[in-house]
Structure 1
Amino acid sequence: MLSQGKIGVALAILSMCGLGHTEENITSDTHFYGQSEPVYPSRQGDRDWADAYAKAAELVAQLTLEEKNNLTYGIATTENGCSGNIPAIPRVGFTGMCLQDAGQGVRFTDFVNSYPSGIHVGASWNKTLAHDRAWHMGGEFRKKGVQVALGPVVGPLGRVVTGGRNWEGPSNDPYLGGVMGAESVRGLQDQGVISSVKHFIANEQELYRNPTLDAENRTVQSISSNIDDKTMHELYLWPFQDALKAGAANIMCSYNRINNSYASQNSKTLNGILKTELGFEGFVVTDWDAQHAGVAAANAGLDMAMPDGQTFWGNNFTEAFKNGSVSEARLNDMATRIIASWYKLGQDESSYPKPGVGMPYNLSEPHDIVNALTADARPVLFEGAVEGHVLVKNVNKSLPLRSPKLLSVFGYDAKAPDAYMPNGQSILTNAWAIGFEPAISHFSELSFAATVINAPYYSQVAFNGTLSVGGGSGASAGPYLSAPLDALQQRAYEDGTASDACLVFINAFATEGSDRAGAYDDYSDGLINQVATTCANTIVVIHNAGTRLVDQFADHPNVTAIIFAHLPGQDSGRALVSLLYGDENFSGKLPYSVAKNESDYENFFHVGATTPYGLFPQDDFEEGVLTDYRYFDAKNITLRYEFGFGLSYTSFEFSGLEISSVEDGIAAYPSGAIEQGGAIDLWDIVATVKATVQNTGDRTGAEVAQIYIGIPNGPVKQLRGFDKVKIPAGKSVQVSFPLTRRDLSSWDVVAQKWQLQSGSYDVFVGSSSRNLPLRSTLNIVADDK
């Protein structure tokens, strides 16, 4: 692979300006790596949104040059609390747009819910739940007068294990992330709300996400994600493609540079991949303050700048259209894409609330209340919280609890936060944590003195109370928060039989704007081990905003159960207690792998040095597609808990593997027309795999049947399907996995198409990426003519 160190400063500067390396013939993937080739012009919309585009074209034809321009960038306003605003054009009936955070619920307003986070939904592996969560969330955005909901997140993809925003997305795996992202798009847009799928693309760390000044007052540019074309398509683009296929009407650019060209002005990714190869019909918006050019960004495919565009566009941009620096055809396309999305989602209808109607600018001042809460959302909030919990250790059936009379609770994460809702914030007034006293009852020999918390833990632990969401723009606040301690106290009041146990609550905090200092912290692990030295039945609950290592206590003989509780939203405590007591059964699975040591991840931490150029930080994605379980499989690394793993209160067995054959001579490359999401025949079903899952335990439970495929010349195996099925004790169900052309293809860099290869494809079916009892092969003979 071409080393970025050999490319040079000049190339980095040229690429920032929208220029780059060009060749007539693509002969290898080094053509793409570390450099972003120019792709012009920007493809105009109207490939398969005919009705919306016809209406939009008619409206845009009535606009002046200034009015078209005004559609393309946000304005500052004190009329509402929207994150971004596009002004109305009353004379043509355009009511304007409110763009609002984020992927876990409506932010910075009242009378809305705080939903389970993206990582929690990913851990549920429940497609229906993902859709229903987004549908109810979309109803709240709509009632609040939001036209564009700034979510879901499908990137970052967890390449950097300590990434500050990993918790906002569903999974480190592109297939799982793509399925959940697509269901989220459908749910939001079924309510008429435009979904803003983010962050496009290869935005895998927070450090150096924005330009900064160094000690000499020189500008240090954002990190450049240097990535080859094959990896781009097979890994990072995959979930975005699913979201587009589901109908996403907006894509948000990321902060980083991609092969040394900023995401918001990268013509290869915007014009070339997004709008041409994938046929995107909607509009592209910057992340907030992520615009770095005017003319170059518009020509590269950017359609809207947020939160305002005065610096690079604004009044000066009108002149650019007049003097031909940007064609009026490009401006018309920008405006038409925005208006077409507005029409496509039915936001022109009188029943759609006016922009920002329920988003008061200042909640502390009197304002008209728009109550977006509905009773029918409650089951989804609760079940969503339940299903994202993952039980990874349960020795001698320590769980479920049997109505204990004596239950000791330890840890900073058990109680309700100091603030009414945490909103993802860690409130620390000093560097001390004072005595974590057991809350319901306690053993007299257990006590903790005041303990100094070392500075590195500030960014890893939220000490002010239980963690229900992460920090930053993805955070949300609901009408209440059910904390674990409150729910346990209520259950203790209601309940009456005996069984001794110690519950230890810790968390792993993450937030937008910074990456975590590590994948574990000694303070929390020490707390667990101290409790376990005295309590023979120690149950650990971790509210983790990302991968969290557990090897410092997982093998302790007195640690009998471990739960990755993730970020459940406002029903956190109620959901957890229903699982602890066995009212509900665990069914969550890990959406990431848990290694035994940080060293097992090798280089999968953020790039903290601005080498080799000082002013142009570089991050070479030299591992290609080998991230998470693909990497651990390739390196034959023993894991603590593998991707897709999770325990239940019952047990399951797999049998009866059936694989349909593929007709010889199937075309190696897709030949169908392009619609949003790519070539139409990429989604043709090529083969079907079936298996039987039996509940061999003594109670009803849900199992996630998973299928992995070993594509020739690719990773050992890759997730290519899953089905969550609820099965009564002693019963069996058959699961079916339809495999599409895309599922079985790899990206051909030279042909610039997905290729179905001739050869033998390994097929694995089971309950996790390393527990796959059913194995066979699928043989394909493809015609590459």
Structure 2
Amino acid sequence: MVAGTVSALLLGLSLAGGSLATGNITEDSYFYGESPPVYPSPQGTGAGEWAGAYAKAKAFVAQLTDDEKVNLTAGTWSQNGCSGTITAISRLGFPGLCVNDAENGLRGTDYVNGWASGVHTAATWNRSLAHGRGVHMGREFYTKGVNVILGPVVGPLGRMVRDGRNWEGFAADPYLTGQMVYETVDGLQSSGVATSLKHMIGYEQETNRSPETNSEGQEVQSVSSNIDDETMHMLYLWPFADAVRAGTASVMCSYNRINNSYASQNSKVLNGLLKTELGFQGYVMTDWGAQHTGIASANAGLDMAMPQSSFWGKNLTTAIANGSMEASRLDDMAIRIMATWYLVGQDEGFPTPGIGMAEDLYAPHQRVIATKPDEKSTLLAAAIEGQVLVKNVNNALPLKSPHMLSIFGYDARTPETMDIPSESTAADNPLIINRTLTVGGGSGTNSPAYIDSPLSAIQRQAYEDGTSVLWDTVSKSPEIDPTSDACLVFINAYAGEGYDRRGLYDDYSDELVANVADQCANTIVVVHNAGIRLVDPWIDHENVTAVIIAHLPGQDSGRALVDVLYGRANPSGKLPYTIAHNETDYGNLLNPALPEGIFWLFPQANFTEGQLIDYRAFDAYNITPRFEFGYGLSYTTFDYSSLTIKQSSSSNSSTSSYPPAATTEPGGNPHLWDELLTVSAVVSNTGDVGGAEVAQLYLGIPNAPVRQLRGFEKFYLAAGESVEIDFHVTRRDLSIWDVYAQDWLLQEGPFVVSVGRSSRDLPLQGTFTF
């Protein structure tokens, strides 16, 4: 069966009727299973802040030979330790490009920091912290001579719960992800490093992400993410628009197919959605080895192949000569690449590309120290704020100068070496990693300057307090001193690139927690998790008094945790996803799609749920979560009052159905960001200690899921203090994608406005209609 036949079959299946708002596919999904052609590839215009960079890039490219233009479009293997390299054009003073992993800190080198991961950053719900993390992390890449950071990640978004790379991205919500990625891109590029936003698009599973030969010698194609047009815009494309608006220099294609066309040659996605609708001015690169065609991919909007290309080279100039590719397409590819170099200022004073990298870390190489003292506060703050307190009975936390602590669990200990393996096991269990988990595995891994483990940090605190510490990080059924004031149990949930998680819990860790809780009346559990980790087997145990979902905090893991445990930092993290009671609560979104039936060689992932992922699905199907999206406790309490809803008088556009026509800028029609509404509320700290709260705004938009996050603000309040907060709501926030008009349609109402502590704790509610 050919791919075109598969597309036709899927398109026929997609016309079954129903409503996208309830998760079914209808005739209005004009491309579901089939990707319409969009040609030609639009030329970059230098819109917005790109104007100066484009002027310089055009002047530079005008001096190039055809071979030099071609050499800009594909990487070459190098010995400098960079993940990919674009060769220099010495005669014009262009030193080439070094591109490198990863979005959570530089990988495969020394003298850099291991930063909090994407999911951990989202759990902070702190825009300024996300920006500061980007600034400092970007300076390290800059100092090491890395021109392009391969990140940040907004795909996967988190549709499939067991996805092995969910931890690299931010949140299972497009709005929160979009806010975090905007700040991250802006912060990174302000440090002179170009970002390569990834992965575009629908990359929601590792299983069958790349073509492979099965046991019968047949080639199985990459999985096809079959996404209707409304869902594409309302969920998956949403954070890409935010990142393009922030000025991301590059966008990386995903490995998978999208509506049965490979991402690297999907003209609808690259030419249509990205370069036309979003007005993207930078260049599109492949993920490593994800190019499958030559001229077809170039005409479809691909600009750079990594780490090299067997399809391009001389074939590009041959294609121009025989008319199968326009010369202007090659010029546009080169201009887009060079414009990014000028955009972030790398034409002046940038270090030699790859100067701080090395093919073999332990071979002789130049010492380039990228760490800076002023990074420490941001490193620690990010590590602290991404931890989420989800249970705290009778004020078990913070600890108050305990006489004895007993520490248990494999996750408490420091790694035996600084090598970060792709997978490690405890008790032959592939779901966990046999040391404290600070980052997930694969290309998102970073290189820490050190790892401060929980046990090490607790022992330092014990020295200050005169506390006795007993520990056993090996046994599943440890012996426990009955005089312990508290028992801390450390477990983790591992995930990494290349395979999807086998489950959301493991029996070994659950039994460990239960065995300790059976003997210790004050059992505190800390989970370091690269993705959702279920807790139902033990969280209701009468002796489990406190639980912290500690995510992936980076190298300051132990220090950050101790600050929370002892109350020097009041926990303020909120979950960026939903934790269910049982795996089955996630329904069809638990497991990856597998090849089956007539599509055995062309595996299909049909996104028939539409927009109903994570909390949207729990709300739609009335499923009670264990801990809902946006949930997180504090050592103090906050009350909400005085909801007001006011249409913005200073709006730059009317409340007409569609946004006013305008020249497309990076991110799309600029009127989508016109402020149409201000929602205000008063929040008061009614507890005894100061702390930070994340106030959340959810809107019930007509013809859309029952509630969607459309605003949040994080702020600190001293005990007894109150503040009025404002949520500024844009046209895009209040619209749905009209598949017929191919534009954002502002709904008339009524809108339901809810403000509160989480997606299910919303004490303030009101309505309005335009």
Question: What TM-score range do you get, normalising by the shorter chain?
Answer: over 0.9
Contact 1:547 1:594 in 2 (8 A): yes
Can you list the C-alpha shifts for 1:728-775, whole angstroms capped at 9, x where unaligned?
000001111000000100000000000102121110000100000000
Q: What does 1:65-84 align with in structure 2 at a 5 Å threshold?
A: 65-78=66-79, 80-84=80-84
Corresponding residue of 2:42: 43
Corresponding residue of 2:472: none
Is the aligned partner of 1:183 residue 2:218? no
Corresponding residue of 2:715: 725
Report the alpha carbon displacement of residue 427 of structure 1 after superposing the two structures with TM: 3.4
**Over aligned residues, Cα RMSD in angstroms?**
1.7
Can you list the C-alpha shifts for 1:354-398, whole angstroms capped at 9, x where unaligned?
211111222211111110010000000001100000000001000
CA separation in 2, counterparts of 1:8 and 1:597? 39
Can you list the C-alpha shifts for 1:229-277, whole angstroms capped at 9, x where unaligned?
0000000001110001111111000000000000010000000010001
CA separation in 2, counterparts of 1:47 and 1:692? 43
Corresponding residue of 1:24: none
Structure 2, gaps ≥5 residues long: 16-25, 469-483
- Look up the equivalent residue of 1:584 and give its one-letter code: A
1:539 pairs, out of 524, 531, 535, with: 524
Can you list the C-alpha shifts for 1:315-349, whole angstroms capped at 9, x where unaligned?
33332222222111100000010011111111111
CA separation in 2, counterparts of 1:594 and 1:88? 49
Corresponding residue of 1:565: 550
Corresponding residue of 1:768: 758
CA separation in 1, counterparts of 2:398 and 2:515? 23
**1:411–1:366 CA distance, 2 compared to 1 (3 A):** same
Corresponding residue of 2:742: 752
CA separation in 2, counterparts of 1:63 and 1:142? 27
Can you list the C-alpha shifts for 1:589-623, whole angstroms capped at 9, x where unaligned?
00000010001011012113344321100010000
**1:210–1:516 CA distance, 2 compared to 1 (3 A):** same
CA separation in 2, counterparts of 1:297 and 1:14? 22
Contact 2:46 2:53 in 1 (8 A): no
Report the alpha carbon displacement of residue 15 of structure 1 after superposing the two structures with TM: 12
- Look up the equivalent residue of 2:157 and give its one-letter code: L
Corresponding residue of 1:667: 656
Q: What does 1:446-461 align with in structure 2 at a 5 Å threshold?
A: 453=428, 457-458=429-430, 460-461=431-432
Report the alpha carbon displacement of residue 496 of structure 1 after superposing the two structures with TM: 3.1
Q: What does 1:432-471 align with in structure 2 at a 5 Å threshold?
A: 433=427, 453=428, 457-458=429-430, 460-463=431-434, 465-471=435-441
Contact 1:150 1:197 in 2 (8 A): yes
Q: Percent identity?
A: 59
Report the alpha carbon displacement of residue 426 of structure 1 after superposing the two structures with TM: 3.3
Is the aligned partner of 1:627 residue 2:598? no
**1:114–1:760 CA distance, 2 compared to 1 (3 A):** same
CA separation in 2, counterparts of 1:283 and 1:658? 44
Contact 2:256 2:262 in 1 (8 A): yes
CA separation in 2, counterparts of 1:300 and 1:628? 33
- Look up the equivalent residue of 1:755 and give its one-letter code: L
Corresponding residue of 1:696: 686
- Look up the equivalent residue of 1:461 and give its one-letter code: I
Question: SS of 2:70's equivalent?
Answer: helix
1:739 pairs, out of 726, 729, 732, with: 729
Corresponding residue of 1:370: 368
Contact 1:9 1:613 in 2 (8 A): no
**1:13–1:603 CA distance, 2 compared to 1 (3 A):** closer
CA separation in 2, counterparts of 1:269 and 1:74? 23
Corresponding residue of 2:204: 204
Corresponding residue of 1:403: 401
Is the aligned partner of 1:237 residue 2:237? yes
- Look up the equivalent residue of 1:407 and give its one-letter code: L
Contact 2:595 2:602 in 1 (8 A): no
**1:121–1:424 CA distance, 2 compared to 1 (3 A):** farther
Report the alpha carbon displacement of residue 14 of structure 1 after superposing the two structures with TM: 9.4
Corresponding residue of 1:687: 677
Contact 1:15 1:36 in 2 (8 A): no
Can you list the C-alpha shifts for 1:552-607, whole angstroms capped at 9, x where unaligned?
01111111111100000000000001110111110000000001000101101211
Corresponding residue of 1:356: 354
Q: What does 1:440-519 align with in structure 2 at a 5 Å threshold?
A: 453=428, 457-458=429-430, 460-463=431-434, 465-496=435-466, 500-519=485-504
Contact 2:386 2:551 in 1 (8 A): yes
Q: What does 1:322-361 align with in structure 2 at a 5 Å threshold?
A: 322-349=321-348, 351-361=349-359
Is the aligned partner of 1:192 residue 2:192? yes
CA separation in 2, counterparts of 1:29 and 1:89? 49
Can you list the C-alpha shifts for 1:263-314, whole angstroms capped at 9, x where unaligned?
01000000001000110000000011110110110000000000001x1112
1:11 pairs, out of 5, 8, 30, with: 5
CA separation in 2, counterparts of 1:325 and 1:14? 27
Question: SS of 1:251's equivalent?
Answer: strand
Q: What does 1:388-427 align with in structure 2 at a 5 Å threshold?
A: 388-420=386-418, 423=420, 425-427=422-424
Corresponding residue of 1:447: none
Is the aligned partner of 1:118 residue 2:111? no
Question: SS of 2:424's equivalent?
Answer: coil
**1:645–1:43 CA distance, 2 compared to 1 (3 A):** same
CA separation in 1, counterparts of 2:598 and 2:405? 56
CA separation in 1, counterparts of 2:92 and 2:27? 51
Corresponding residue of 2:625: 639
Corresponding residue of 2:479: none
- Look up the equivalent residue of 2:409 and give its one-letter code: G
Contact 2:6 2:599 in 1 (8 A): no
CA separation in 1, counterparts of 2:596 and 2:252? 26
Report the alpha carbon displacement of residue 44 of structure 1 after superposing the two structures with TM: 0.2
Corresponding residue of 1:225: 225
CA separation in 2, counterparts of 1:41 and 1:28? 27
- Look up the equivalent residue of 2:407 and give its one-letter code: V
CA separation in 2, counterparts of 1:704 and 1:102? 28
- Look up the equivalent residue of 2:492 and give its one-letter code: N
Greater shift, 544-553 or 87-96, is seen at 87-96
CA separation in 2, counterparts of 1:293 and 1:405? 66
CA separation in 1, counterparts of 2:249 and 2:659? 24
**1:563–1:598 CA distance, 2 compared to 1 (3 A):** same
Question: SS of 1:192's equivalent?
Answer: coil
CA separation in 2, counterparts of 1:87 and 1:243? 27
Corresponding residue of 1:437: none
**1:283–1:483 CA distance, 2 compared to 1 (3 A):** same
CA separation in 2, counterparts of 1:473 and 1:693? 41
Report the alpha carbon displacement of residue 13 of structure 1 after superposing the two structures with TM: 7.6
Is the aligned partner of 1:715 residue 2:705? yes
Structure 1, gaps ≥5 residues long: 1-6, 22-26, 434-452, 781-785
Report the alpha carbon displacement of residue 8 of structure 1 after superposing the two structures with TM: 7.8
Corresponding residue of 1:549: 534
- Look up the equivalent residue of 1:654 and give its one-letter code: Y
Report the alpha carbon displacement of residue 28 of structure 1 after superposing the two structures with TM: 4.2
CA separation in 2, counterparts of 1:127 and 1:151? 17
- Look up the equivalent residue of 1:329 and give its one-letter code: S
- Look up the equivalent residue of 2:747 and give its one-letter code: Q
CA separation in 1, counterparts of 2:279 and 2:112? 35
Report the alpha carbon displacement of residue 9 of structure 1 after superposing the two structures with TM: 4.6
Corresponding residue of 2:471: none
**1:8–1:289 CA distance, 2 compared to 1 (3 A):** closer
Q: What does 1:100-111 align with in structure 2 at a 5 Å threshold?
A: 100-111=100-111
Contact 1:612 1:618 in 2 (8 A): no
- Look up the equivalent residue of 1:734 and give its one-letter code: E
Q: What does 1:226-265 align with in structure 2 at a 5 Å threshold?
A: 226-265=226-265
Contact 1:299 1:330 in 2 (8 A): yes
Contact 1:425 1:462 in 2 (8 A): no
